[in-house]
Chains A and B, each alone.
Chain A
Amino acid sequence: MSLEKLLQQKKSVILERWFDSILETYPADTRQFLKKKKNRFANPVAHEISRGIEEIFNNILKDANSEDVSPFLDKVIRIRAVQDFSPSQALGFIFDLKKLIRDELAENMGESRISEDLWELERKIDAMGLMSLDIYTKCREKLYELRVKEVKNRVGRLIERANMMCGIPEKEGDPEVCNTDNLT
Chain B
Amino acid sequence: MGVWVSFFAVIALVVIPLVGAQGAGQYLFGIVIPYLAVLTFVIGFIYRVVQWAKTPVPFKIPTTGGQMKSFSWIEPNPIDNPSSTGGVIVRMALEVFAFRSLFRNTRIELRDGPKLDYGSNKWLWVAALAFHYAFLVVFIRHFRLFMEPVPFFVGALESVDGFVEVGLPRLMISGVVLLLAALYLFLRRVAVPQLRYISLAADYFPLFLIIGLATSGILMRYFIRVDITSVKELVIGLVSFHPTIPKGIGVIFYIHLFLLSILIAYFPFSKLMHAGGVFFSPTRNMPNDNRARRHINPWNYPVKVHTYAEYEDEFREKMIEVGLSVEKE
Contacts of B117 in A (CB 8 A): 38-39
Q: Count how many pairs of residues, one from A and one from B, have CB atoms less than 8 Å apart in the complex.
A: 23
B194 touches A40 (CB 8 A): no
Give min CB distance, A23 to chain B, whole Å: 12
Stretch of B74-82, B105-113, B202-210 lying at the A interface: B105-113
Q: What count of chain B residues pass the 8 Å CB interface test?
A: 11
**Interfacial residues of chain B within 183-220, with CB under 8 A of chain A in the complex:** 193-194, 197
CB neighbors of A among B86-128 (8 A): 109-112, 117, 119-120
Q: Does A119 contact B (CB under 8 A)?
A: no
Q: Interface residues of A, CB < 8 Å — how many?
A: 10
Q: By the criterion CB–CB under 8 Å, are B193 and A38 in contact?
A: no
Asked whether A33 lies within 8 Å of B193 as measured between CB atoms, the reply is yes
CB contacts (< 8 Å) of B111 on chain A: these are 38-40
Assess whether A42 is in contact with B193, with CB atoms less than 8 Å apart: no
A32 at interface by CB-CB < 8 Å:
yes
| CB atoms of A32 and B110 under 8 A apart | no
Asked whether, in the complex, the Cβ of B109 is within 8 Å of the Cβ of A29, the reply is no
Check A29/B110 contact, CB under 8 A, given A36-B120, A42-B119. no
Distance of A29 Cα from B195 Cα, bound (Å):
10
CA–CA, A106 and B194, complex, Å: 37
Instruction: Give the complex CA separation of A42 and B108 in angstroms.
Output: 12
Contact with B along A34-51 (1 / 0, CB 8 A): 001011111000000000
**Docked-complex contact A39 and B109, CB < 8 angstroms:** yes
Least CB distance from B84 to A in Å reads 34
Q: How far is the CA of A32 from the CA of B197 in the complex (A)?
A: 11
For A33, the closest partner residue in chain B by CB is B194
Q: B residues touching A (Cβ–Cβ < 8 Å)? A: 109-112, 117, 119-120, 193-194, 197, 318
Binding site for B on A (CB under 8 A): 29, 32-33, 36, 38-42, 181
The 5 closest A-B pairs by CB, nearest first: A32-B193, A29-B197, A39-B109, A38-B111, A39-B111
